[in-house]
Amino acid sequence: MSKFFEQIKNNWDEITQKMLNDNDEISTAFFDAFIKNPLKLVKYEKNILYIEVPEEGYINILNKRFIPNFLKISISEVLDIPLSNFDISFVVKNNIYSNQAISKEIIEKRLLKLKIDPKNTFQNFVQGESNRMAYGSSIAVAETQAIYNPLIIYGGAGLGKTHLLHAITHHAIEQNENLNIIYITCSEFKTEFYLSIKENKTSELIEKYKNVDYLIIDDIQFLSNAKETQNAFFDIFNSLYCEKKQIILSSDRPPKEIDNLPDRLTSRFSWGLFTDITFPDYETRVAILLKKQEEFNPEYPVDMEVIRYIAQTVKTNIRELEGCLTKIIAGSRLQKKQINLSLAKEMLNNGENDNKRITPENIINTVSETLNVDILDICGKSRKTDFVYSRNISIFLCRELIPDITQEKIGKFFGDRDHSTIIHSCKQIEKDIKTNKNLQEDIKIIKNKLLI
Protein backbone atom coordinates (compact mmCIF):
# COMPACT_ATOMS: atom_id res chain seq x y z
CA MET A 1 0.00 0.00 0.00
CA SER A 2 1.45 3.41 -0.89
CA LYS A 3 2.29 5.81 1.90
CA PHE A 4 -0.03 8.42 0.45
CA PHE A 5 -2.93 5.97 0.38
CA GLU A 6 -2.23 4.97 3.95
CA GLN A 7 -2.22 8.61 5.04
CA ILE A 8 -5.55 9.25 3.34
CA LYS A 9 -7.03 6.14 4.92
CA ASN A 10 -5.87 7.11 8.39
CA ASN A 11 -7.18 10.64 8.02
CA TRP A 12 -10.31 9.89 6.02
CA ASP A 13 -12.76 10.97 8.73
CA GLU A 14 -10.95 14.23 9.27
CA ILE A 15 -10.70 14.87 5.52
CA THR A 16 -14.38 14.32 4.85
CA GLN A 17 -15.44 16.22 7.96
CA LYS A 18 -13.30 19.17 6.93
CA MET A 19 -14.88 19.12 3.49
CA LEU A 20 -18.30 19.27 5.10
CA ASN A 21 -17.32 22.11 7.41
CA ASP A 22 -15.61 24.16 4.71
CA ASN A 23 -18.34 24.02 2.11
CA ASP A 24 -21.74 25.50 2.82
CA GLU A 25 -23.02 23.87 -0.36
CA ILE A 26 -22.85 20.43 1.28
CA SER A 27 -25.69 19.72 3.67
CA THR A 28 -25.33 17.16 6.45
CA ALA A 29 -28.10 15.07 4.88
CA PHE A 30 -26.27 15.03 1.53
CA PHE A 31 -23.02 14.26 3.32
CA ASP A 32 -24.51 11.26 5.15
CA ALA A 33 -26.31 9.91 2.10
CA PHE A 34 -23.64 10.35 -0.56
CA ILE A 35 -20.29 10.70 1.14
CA LYS A 36 -19.89 9.42 4.68
CA ASN A 37 -21.53 6.03 4.36
CA PRO A 38 -21.28 4.96 0.73
CA LEU A 39 -17.80 6.12 -0.33
CA LYS A 40 -15.01 3.57 0.14
CA LEU A 41 -11.33 4.11 -0.54
CA VAL A 42 -10.06 1.50 -2.99
CA LYS A 43 -6.51 2.16 -4.07
CA TYR A 44 -4.01 4.77 -5.15
CA GLU A 45 -2.37 4.12 -8.46
CA LYS A 46 -0.55 6.27 -11.00
CA ASN A 47 -1.47 9.46 -9.16
CA ILE A 48 -5.13 8.57 -9.06
CA LEU A 49 -7.06 7.92 -5.89
CA TYR A 50 -9.83 5.45 -6.68
CA ILE A 51 -12.96 5.76 -4.57
CA GLU A 52 -15.74 3.23 -4.82
CA VAL A 53 -19.41 4.23 -5.14
CA PRO A 54 -22.28 1.74 -4.85
CA GLU A 55 -23.71 2.49 -8.28
CA GLU A 56 -23.20 4.53 -11.44
CA GLY A 57 -25.77 7.24 -10.55
CA TYR A 58 -23.67 8.41 -7.59
CA ILE A 59 -20.89 9.54 -9.90
CA ASN A 60 -23.10 12.14 -11.62
CA ILE A 61 -24.52 13.37 -8.37
CA LEU A 62 -21.08 13.77 -6.81
CA ASN A 63 -19.61 15.44 -9.89
CA LYS A 64 -22.53 17.84 -10.16
CA ARG A 65 -21.84 19.07 -6.66
CA PHE A 66 -18.11 19.39 -7.37
CA ILE A 67 -17.34 16.79 -4.67
CA PRO A 68 -14.12 15.63 -6.41
CA ASN A 69 -12.84 19.23 -6.27
CA PHE A 70 -13.86 19.71 -2.65
CA LEU A 71 -12.37 16.37 -1.66
CA LYS A 72 -9.11 17.14 -3.39
CA ILE A 73 -8.82 20.48 -1.65
CA SER A 74 -9.55 18.87 1.70
CA ILE A 75 -7.03 16.06 1.18
CA SER A 76 -4.43 18.54 0.03
CA GLU A 77 -4.97 20.72 3.08
CA VAL A 78 -5.13 17.96 5.69
CA LEU A 79 -2.07 16.14 4.32
CA ASP A 80 -0.31 19.30 3.17
CA ILE A 81 0.44 18.18 -0.37
CA PRO A 82 -0.01 20.07 -3.66
CA LEU A 83 -3.34 19.68 -5.47
CA SER A 84 -1.62 18.87 -8.74
CA ASN A 85 -0.02 15.72 -7.30
CA PHE A 86 -3.07 13.52 -7.59
CA ASP A 87 -6.52 13.10 -9.05
CA ILE A 88 -9.70 11.43 -7.91
CA SER A 89 -11.67 8.84 -9.82
CA PHE A 90 -14.93 7.23 -8.77
CA VAL A 91 -15.42 3.60 -9.67
CA VAL A 92 -18.56 1.56 -9.43
CA LYS A 93 -18.50 -1.37 -7.01
CA ASN A 94 -17.26 -4.62 -8.62
CA ASN A 95 -16.24 -2.70 -11.70
CA ILE A 96 -12.69 -1.76 -10.86
CA TYR A 97 -10.42 -2.42 -13.75
CA SER A 98 -6.83 -3.13 -13.03
CA ASN A 99 -4.09 -2.08 -15.32
CA GLN A 100 -1.01 -2.34 -13.18
CA ALA A 101 0.71 -4.37 -15.88
CA ILE A 102 1.07 -1.56 -18.40
CA SER A 103 3.78 0.88 -17.55
CA LYS A 104 3.32 4.61 -17.79
CA GLU A 105 6.21 4.84 -20.26
CA ILE A 106 4.64 2.43 -22.70
CA ILE A 107 1.39 4.35 -22.62
CA GLU A 108 3.12 7.70 -23.05
CA LYS A 109 5.15 6.40 -26.00
CA ARG A 110 2.08 5.13 -27.77
CA LEU A 111 0.16 8.33 -27.16
CA LEU A 112 3.03 10.36 -28.53
CA LYS A 113 3.20 8.19 -31.63
CA LEU A 114 -0.52 8.58 -32.24
CA LYS A 115 -0.28 12.34 -31.60
CA ILE A 116 -2.73 12.11 -28.71
CA ASP A 117 -2.73 14.88 -26.12
CA PRO A 118 -2.22 12.96 -22.85
CA LYS A 119 -4.27 15.57 -20.98
CA ASN A 120 -7.38 14.72 -23.00
CA THR A 121 -8.59 11.97 -20.66
CA PHE A 122 -12.03 10.96 -19.42
CA GLN A 123 -10.93 12.18 -16.04
CA ASN A 124 -10.39 15.68 -17.36
CA PHE A 125 -13.67 15.74 -19.23
CA VAL A 126 -16.49 17.41 -17.34
CA GLN A 127 -19.90 15.87 -17.82
CA GLY A 128 -23.09 17.82 -18.23
CA GLU A 129 -26.41 17.57 -20.04
CA SER A 130 -24.71 18.80 -23.22
CA ASN A 131 -22.35 15.85 -23.50
CA ARG A 132 -23.65 13.11 -21.21
CA MET A 133 -24.61 10.69 -23.96
CA ALA A 134 -21.41 11.29 -25.95
CA TYR A 135 -19.34 10.81 -22.80
CA GLY A 136 -21.18 7.64 -21.73
CA SER A 137 -20.98 5.99 -25.14
CA SER A 138 -17.30 6.92 -25.45
CA ILE A 139 -16.51 5.16 -22.19
CA ALA A 140 -18.57 2.19 -23.31
CA VAL A 141 -16.63 1.70 -26.57
CA ALA A 142 -13.30 2.32 -24.83
CA GLU A 143 -14.13 -0.52 -22.44
CA THR A 144 -15.85 -2.94 -24.81
CA GLN A 145 -15.12 -3.13 -28.49
CA ALA A 146 -17.98 -2.88 -30.99
CA ILE A 147 -20.67 -2.35 -28.40
CA TYR A 148 -21.85 0.51 -30.63
CA ASN A 149 -20.42 0.28 -34.11
CA PRO A 150 -19.67 2.75 -35.52
CA LEU A 151 -19.83 5.37 -32.79
CA ILE A 152 -20.23 8.81 -34.34
CA ILE A 153 -19.86 11.95 -32.23
CA TYR A 154 -20.93 15.16 -33.89
CA GLY A 155 -21.24 18.80 -32.85
CA GLY A 156 -19.88 22.29 -33.49
CA ALA A 157 -16.25 23.39 -33.22
CA GLY A 158 -14.59 23.47 -29.82
CA LEU A 159 -17.19 21.40 -27.97
CA GLY A 160 -15.04 18.42 -27.01
CA LYS A 161 -15.15 15.90 -29.89
CA THR A 162 -11.40 15.56 -30.24
CA HIS A 163 -11.03 15.44 -26.46
CA LEU A 164 -13.36 12.43 -26.32
CA LEU A 165 -11.64 10.61 -29.21
CA HIS A 166 -8.30 11.11 -27.48
CA ALA A 167 -9.78 9.89 -24.20
CA ILE A 168 -11.11 6.73 -25.87
CA THR A 169 -7.70 6.02 -27.40
CA HIS A 170 -5.96 6.66 -24.09
CA HIS A 171 -8.33 4.47 -22.11
CA ALA A 172 -8.22 1.62 -24.63
CA ILE A 173 -4.40 1.61 -24.58
CA GLU A 174 -4.43 1.55 -20.79
CA GLN A 175 -6.79 -1.40 -20.83
CA ASN A 176 -4.78 -3.50 -23.21
CA GLU A 177 -1.42 -2.57 -24.64
CA ASN A 178 -1.69 -5.16 -27.38
CA LEU A 179 -4.62 -3.48 -29.07
CA ASN A 180 -3.83 -2.16 -32.51
CA ILE A 181 -5.26 1.34 -32.55
CA ILE A 182 -5.17 4.01 -35.21
CA TYR A 183 -6.21 7.53 -34.33
CA ILE A 184 -5.96 9.87 -37.29
CA THR A 185 -7.51 13.09 -38.50
CA CYS A 186 -9.47 12.85 -41.71
CA SER A 187 -7.11 15.28 -43.43
CA GLU A 188 -4.11 13.11 -42.57
CA PHE A 189 -6.04 10.06 -43.71
CA LYS A 190 -6.74 11.71 -47.07
CA THR A 191 -3.14 12.77 -47.54
CA GLU A 192 -1.96 9.28 -46.75
CA PHE A 193 -4.20 7.91 -49.46
CA TYR A 194 -3.18 10.44 -52.11
CA LEU A 195 0.45 9.61 -51.44
CA SER A 196 -0.22 5.90 -51.61
CA ILE A 197 -1.93 6.32 -54.98
CA LYS A 198 1.09 8.20 -56.29
CA GLU A 199 3.40 5.47 -55.06
CA ASN A 200 1.12 2.67 -56.13
CA LYS A 201 0.84 1.35 -52.60
CA THR A 202 -2.89 1.72 -51.94
CA SER A 203 -3.61 -1.94 -51.31
CA GLU A 204 -0.85 -2.15 -48.66
CA LEU A 205 -2.29 0.88 -46.98
CA ILE A 206 -5.81 -0.55 -46.99
CA GLU A 207 -4.44 -3.78 -45.52
CA LYS A 208 -2.82 -1.82 -42.68
CA TYR A 209 -6.15 -0.26 -41.82
CA LYS A 210 -7.99 -3.57 -42.03
CA ASN A 211 -5.76 -4.95 -39.31
CA VAL A 212 -6.68 -2.57 -36.54
CA ASP A 213 -8.83 -3.20 -33.47
CA TYR A 214 -9.85 0.46 -33.21
CA LEU A 215 -10.06 2.88 -36.11
CA ILE A 216 -10.65 6.40 -34.84
CA ILE A 217 -11.01 9.18 -37.42
CA ASP A 218 -11.49 12.80 -36.37
CA ASP A 219 -13.44 15.33 -38.44
CA ILE A 220 -14.86 13.05 -41.12
CA GLN A 221 -16.70 16.01 -42.66
CA PHE A 222 -13.49 16.33 -44.68
CA LEU A 223 -14.38 13.11 -46.48
CA SER A 224 -16.72 15.26 -48.53
CA ASN A 225 -15.62 15.48 -52.18
CA ALA A 226 -12.82 12.96 -51.73
CA LYS A 227 -13.92 10.11 -53.94
CA GLU A 228 -10.78 7.99 -53.82
CA THR A 229 -10.55 8.18 -50.06
CA GLN A 230 -14.27 7.47 -49.72
CA ASN A 231 -13.87 4.26 -51.71
CA ALA A 232 -10.93 3.10 -49.65
CA PHE A 233 -12.73 4.02 -46.45
CA PHE A 234 -15.83 2.10 -47.56
CA ASP A 235 -13.73 -1.00 -48.13
CA ILE A 236 -11.99 -0.65 -44.75
CA PHE A 237 -15.26 0.06 -42.97
CA ASN A 238 -16.92 -3.11 -44.29
CA SER A 239 -14.00 -5.27 -43.35
CA LEU A 240 -13.68 -3.88 -39.80
CA TYR A 241 -17.40 -3.99 -39.23
CA CYS A 242 -17.62 -7.68 -40.20
CA GLU A 243 -14.69 -8.48 -37.94
CA LYS A 244 -16.40 -6.65 -35.05
CA LYS A 245 -13.58 -4.14 -34.80
CA GLN A 246 -14.46 -0.77 -33.39
CA ILE A 247 -14.92 2.27 -35.65
CA ILE A 248 -15.23 5.72 -34.05
CA LEU A 249 -15.76 8.91 -36.01
CA SER A 250 -16.31 12.57 -35.26
CA SER A 251 -17.88 15.21 -37.43
CA ASP A 252 -18.81 18.87 -37.11
CA ARG A 253 -22.31 18.08 -38.47
CA PRO A 254 -24.63 15.08 -38.77
CA PRO A 255 -23.21 12.76 -41.46
CA LYS A 256 -26.33 13.22 -43.61
CA GLU A 257 -25.40 16.86 -43.97
CA ILE A 258 -21.88 16.18 -45.23
CA ASP A 259 -21.76 17.20 -48.88
CA ASN A 260 -21.30 14.49 -51.45
CA LEU A 261 -20.99 11.61 -49.06
CA PRO A 262 -22.42 8.59 -50.89
CA ASP A 263 -25.60 6.98 -49.50
CA ARG A 264 -23.86 3.63 -49.15
CA LEU A 265 -21.62 5.27 -46.54
CA THR A 266 -24.28 7.27 -44.67
CA SER A 267 -26.54 4.21 -44.52
CA ARG A 268 -23.70 2.19 -42.99
CA PHE A 269 -23.12 4.89 -40.43
CA SER A 270 -26.70 4.49 -39.29
CA TRP A 271 -25.93 0.90 -38.19
CA GLY A 272 -24.19 2.36 -35.19
CA LEU A 273 -24.83 5.09 -32.66
CA PHE A 274 -24.98 8.81 -33.38
CA THR A 275 -24.51 11.11 -30.46
CA ASP A 276 -24.20 14.86 -30.44
CA ILE A 277 -22.43 17.35 -28.21
CA THR A 278 -23.97 20.76 -27.68
CA PHE A 279 -22.84 23.90 -25.92
CA PRO A 280 -22.72 23.34 -22.14
CA ASP A 281 -25.04 25.09 -19.72
CA TYR A 282 -23.76 27.61 -17.19
CA GLU A 283 -23.09 25.13 -14.35
CA THR A 284 -21.11 22.85 -16.65
CA ARG A 285 -19.12 25.82 -17.95
CA VAL A 286 -18.20 26.69 -14.36
CA ALA A 287 -17.19 23.08 -13.70
CA ILE A 288 -15.06 23.00 -16.87
CA LEU A 289 -13.28 26.20 -15.85
CA LEU A 290 -12.56 24.77 -12.39
CA LYS A 291 -11.20 21.61 -13.99
CA LYS A 292 -9.00 23.60 -16.37
CA GLN A 293 -7.75 25.77 -13.54
CA GLU A 294 -6.73 22.62 -11.71
CA GLU A 295 -4.96 21.32 -14.84
CA PHE A 296 -3.11 24.61 -15.44
CA ASN A 297 -2.21 24.68 -11.75
CA PRO A 298 -1.74 28.44 -11.56
CA GLU A 299 0.40 30.09 -8.96
CA TYR A 300 -2.52 32.41 -8.13
CA PRO A 301 -5.79 30.46 -8.34
CA VAL A 302 -8.54 32.35 -10.14
CA ASP A 303 -11.27 33.79 -7.95
CA MET A 304 -14.67 32.08 -8.06
CA GLU A 305 -16.18 35.46 -8.97
CA VAL A 306 -13.92 35.67 -12.01
CA ILE A 307 -14.69 32.06 -12.97
CA ARG A 308 -18.40 32.87 -12.90
CA TYR A 309 -17.81 35.98 -14.97
CA ILE A 310 -15.99 34.00 -17.69
CA ALA A 311 -18.74 31.34 -17.69
CA GLN A 312 -21.36 34.05 -18.13
CA THR A 313 -19.48 35.95 -20.79
CA VAL A 314 -18.29 33.22 -23.15
CA LYS A 315 -21.13 31.73 -25.09
CA THR A 316 -19.39 30.39 -28.15
CA ASN A 317 -17.39 27.29 -27.37
CA ILE A 318 -15.22 25.59 -24.79
CA ARG A 319 -11.99 26.40 -26.56
CA GLU A 320 -12.79 30.07 -26.11
CA LEU A 321 -13.75 29.49 -22.48
CA GLU A 322 -10.34 27.95 -21.95
CA GLY A 323 -8.68 30.80 -23.87
CA CYS A 324 -10.16 33.40 -21.51
CA LEU A 325 -8.97 31.49 -18.47
CA THR A 326 -5.47 31.14 -19.91
CA LYS A 327 -5.38 34.85 -20.60
CA ILE A 328 -6.27 35.64 -17.01
CA ILE A 329 -3.79 33.15 -15.59
CA ALA A 330 -1.06 34.60 -17.81
CA GLY A 331 -2.02 38.09 -16.61
CA SER A 332 -1.84 37.09 -12.97
CA ARG A 333 1.57 35.54 -13.53
CA LEU A 334 2.85 38.73 -15.14
CA GLN A 335 1.45 40.93 -12.41
CA LYS A 336 2.41 38.43 -9.71
CA LYS A 337 -0.97 38.65 -8.04
CA GLN A 338 -4.49 37.27 -8.15
CA ILE A 339 -6.65 38.93 -10.77
CA ASN A 340 -9.79 40.54 -9.42
CA LEU A 341 -13.08 40.92 -11.24
CA SER A 342 -12.60 44.43 -12.57
CA LEU A 343 -9.16 43.53 -13.96
CA ALA A 344 -10.55 40.37 -15.51
CA LYS A 345 -13.28 42.41 -17.14
CA GLU A 346 -10.73 44.83 -18.52
CA MET A 347 -8.63 41.97 -19.87
CA LEU A 348 -11.50 40.15 -21.50
CA ASN A 349 -13.71 42.97 -22.56
CA ASN A 350 -13.79 43.28 -26.30
CA GLY A 351 -16.99 45.29 -26.36
CA GLU A 352 -19.02 42.46 -27.81
CA ASN A 353 -20.50 41.21 -24.63
CA ASP A 354 -21.91 44.40 -23.25
CA ASN A 355 -25.24 44.07 -24.97
CA LYS A 356 -25.65 40.53 -23.64
CA ARG A 357 -25.17 41.63 -20.04
CA ILE A 358 -27.51 40.28 -17.46
CA THR A 359 -29.60 42.91 -15.71
CA PRO A 360 -32.05 42.73 -12.80
CA GLU A 361 -34.81 43.44 -15.34
CA ASN A 362 -34.09 40.39 -17.46
CA ILE A 363 -33.68 38.20 -14.37
CA ILE A 364 -37.09 39.29 -13.08
CA ASN A 365 -38.62 38.82 -16.53
CA THR A 366 -37.21 35.33 -16.88
CA VAL A 367 -38.31 34.29 -13.37
CA SER A 368 -41.79 35.63 -14.09
CA GLU A 369 -42.03 33.79 -17.40
CA THR A 370 -40.66 30.52 -16.01
CA LEU A 371 -42.61 30.37 -12.76
CA ASN A 372 -45.70 32.01 -14.17
CA VAL A 373 -45.81 34.75 -11.56
CA ASP A 374 -46.61 38.35 -12.42
CA ILE A 375 -43.65 40.78 -12.39
CA LEU A 376 -45.57 43.14 -10.11
CA ASP A 377 -46.01 40.34 -7.58
CA ILE A 378 -42.32 39.45 -7.71
CA CYS A 379 -41.37 43.05 -7.04
CA GLY A 380 -44.26 43.75 -4.63
CA LYS A 381 -44.68 43.25 -0.90
CA SER A 382 -47.12 40.34 -0.67
CA ARG A 383 -45.94 37.42 1.54
CA LYS A 384 -47.90 34.83 -0.46
CA THR A 385 -45.71 31.71 -0.72
CA ASP A 386 -45.47 31.70 -4.55
CA PHE A 387 -44.53 35.36 -4.66
CA VAL A 388 -41.92 35.06 -1.92
CA TYR A 389 -40.44 32.02 -3.66
CA SER A 390 -40.11 33.86 -7.00
CA ARG A 391 -38.87 37.00 -5.30
CA ASN A 392 -36.18 35.17 -3.34
CA ILE A 393 -34.99 33.38 -6.48
CA SER A 394 -34.81 36.70 -8.36
CA ILE A 395 -32.84 38.37 -5.58
CA PHE A 396 -30.52 35.39 -5.26
CA LEU A 397 -29.83 35.39 -9.02
CA CYS A 398 -29.24 39.15 -9.09
CA ARG A 399 -26.52 38.65 -6.54
CA GLU A 400 -25.02 35.59 -8.17
CA LEU A 401 -25.16 36.64 -11.81
CA ILE A 402 -24.42 40.36 -11.60
CA PRO A 403 -21.08 40.39 -9.83
CA ASP A 404 -20.68 44.10 -9.15
CA ILE A 405 -24.25 44.92 -8.08
CA THR A 406 -24.78 46.34 -4.57
CA GLN A 407 -27.44 45.12 -2.15
CA GLU A 408 -28.97 48.60 -2.15
CA LYS A 409 -29.34 48.50 -5.91
CA ILE A 410 -30.99 45.07 -5.78
CA GLY A 411 -33.32 46.37 -3.06
CA LYS A 412 -34.53 49.14 -5.37
CA PHE A 413 -35.98 46.60 -7.80
CA PHE A 414 -37.93 44.86 -5.05
CA GLY A 415 -39.95 47.66 -3.49
CA ASP A 416 -37.02 49.48 -1.87
CA ARG A 417 -36.11 46.66 0.48
CA ASP A 418 -33.09 47.26 2.70
CA HIS A 419 -29.92 45.23 2.54
CA SER A 420 -30.82 42.93 5.45
CA THR A 421 -33.89 41.65 3.54
CA ILE A 422 -31.73 41.05 0.49
CA ILE A 423 -29.24 39.06 2.56
CA HIS A 424 -32.08 37.14 4.16
CA SER A 425 -33.55 36.17 0.77
CA CYS A 426 -30.18 34.97 -0.48
CA LYS A 427 -29.51 32.97 2.68
CA GLN A 428 -32.94 31.36 2.42
CA ILE A 429 -32.24 30.16 -1.13
CA GLU A 430 -28.70 29.04 -0.27
CA LYS A 431 -30.15 26.96 2.55
CA ASP A 432 -33.13 25.52 0.66
CA ILE A 433 -31.18 24.70 -2.49
CA LYS A 434 -29.24 22.04 -0.61
CA THR A 435 -32.31 19.88 -0.14
CA ASN A 436 -35.16 21.17 -2.29
CA LYS A 437 -35.06 19.45 -5.70
CA ASN A 438 -37.77 21.64 -7.25
CA LEU A 439 -35.86 24.74 -6.31
CA GLN A 440 -32.66 23.29 -7.78
CA GLU A 441 -34.49 22.52 -11.01
CA ASP A 442 -36.22 25.94 -11.23
CA ILE A 443 -32.94 27.78 -10.72
CA LYS A 444 -31.24 25.61 -13.29
CA ILE A 445 -33.91 26.33 -15.91
CA ILE A 446 -33.89 30.06 -15.24
CA LYS A 447 -30.10 30.24 -15.35
CA ASN A 448 -30.00 28.36 -18.62
CA LYS A 449 -32.47 30.76 -20.18
CA LEU A 450 -30.40 33.70 -18.99
CA LEU A 451 -26.97 32.36 -19.76
CA ILE A 452 -27.19 30.59 -23.10
> Which positions lie near ligand ADP, rule CB under 6 A?
120, 124-126, 131, 157-163, 288, 291, 318-319, 322
Pairing between strand 214-218 and 246-251?
parallel
Q: Is the dihedral of CA 339, 119, 49, 144 positive or negative?
A: positive
Q: Is residue 27 classed as helix, strand or coil in its secondary structure?
A: coil
**Cα–Cα distance for residue pair 69/80, rounded to 1 Å:** 16
For the chain, give me the number of helices (H) and strands (E)? 22, 8
Decide which of Mg ion, ligand ADP, none touches 163; Cβ closer than 5 to 8 Å per partner kind: ligand ADP
Least distance to Mg ion, CB of residue 241, Å: 24
* Helix H or strand E segment including 230: helix 227-242
Per CB under 5 A, contacts with Mg ion among 322-361 are none
Angle 213-216-221 from CA coordinates, rounded to 5°: 145
Nearer to ligand ADP, 128 or 411 (CB): 128
Give the nearer residue to ligand ADP in terms of CB position, either 280 or 360.
280
> Residues 6 or more apart from 267 whose CB is under 8 A from it?
none
Q: Could you tell me which residues are beta bridge partners of residue 276? A: 154
Which lies closer to ligand ADP via its Cβ, residue 52 or residue 322? 322
x/- binding map, residues 149-178, to Mg ion, per CB under 5 A? ------------xx----------------
Q: Is 373 left (phi over 0), alpha (psi -120 to 50) or beta?
A: beta
The secondary structure of 334-369, three-state, reads HHCCCCCHHHHHHHHCCCCCHHHCCCHHHHHHHHHH
In the bound complex, what is the minimum distance in angstroms from residue 2's beta carbon to ligand ADP? Answer: 28
Q: Which is nearer to Mg ion, 275 or 366 (CB)?
A: 275
Distance of closest approach, residue 162 Cβ to ligand ADP, in angstroms = 3
Among ligand ADP, Mg ion, none, the one that 157 touches (CB under a kind-dependent 5 to 8 A) is ligand ADP
Least separation in angstroms between CB 350 and Mg ion: 24
Smallest distance, Å, CB 157 to Mg ion? Answer: 7
Any residues with CB less than 8 A from the CB of 250 and at least 6 apart, and which?
152, 153, 154, 161, 162, 164, 165, 217, 218, 219, 220
- Give me the least distance between CB of 168 and Mg ion, in Å please: 13
Q: Which CB atom, from 161 or from 391, has the smaller least distance to ligand ADP? A: 161
Least Cβ distance, residue 33 to ligand ADP (angstroms):
27
Query: Are 57 and 90 a contacting pair, CB within 8 Å?
Result: no
Question: Which of the choices ligand ADP, Mg ion, none does residue 171 contact, using the CB cut-off of 5 to 8 A by kind?
Answer: none
Identity at 382, one-letter amino acid code: S
Chain residue whose CB lies nearest ligand ADP: 160
Size of the site for Mg ion (CB under 5 A): 2
Nearest residue (CB) to ligand ADP, 159 versus 450: 159
Q: How far is the CB of 159 from Mg ion (least distance, A)?
A: 9
Helix axes 67-79, 3-10, angle to 10 degrees: 100
Least distance (Å) between residue 278 CB and ligand ADP: 11
Residue 159 interacts with which of Mg ion, ligand ADP, none, CB < 5 to 8 Å by class: ligand ADP
Q: Rounded CA gap, 365 and 32, in Å?
A: 38
Choose among ligand ADP, Mg ion, none what residue 131 binds, the Cβ cut-off being 5 to 8 Å by kind.
ligand ADP
- Of residues 161 and 245, the one with the C-beta less far from Mg ion: 161
How far, in whole angstroms, is CA 370 from its chain's centroid? 27
322 binds, among Mg ion, ligand ADP, none (CB under 5 to 8 A by kind): ligand ADP
Q: Which residue is nearest to Mg ion (CB)?
A: 162
H helical segments located in 65-101: 67-79
Please report, as ranges, the residues that interact with Mg ion according to CB under 5 A: 161-162
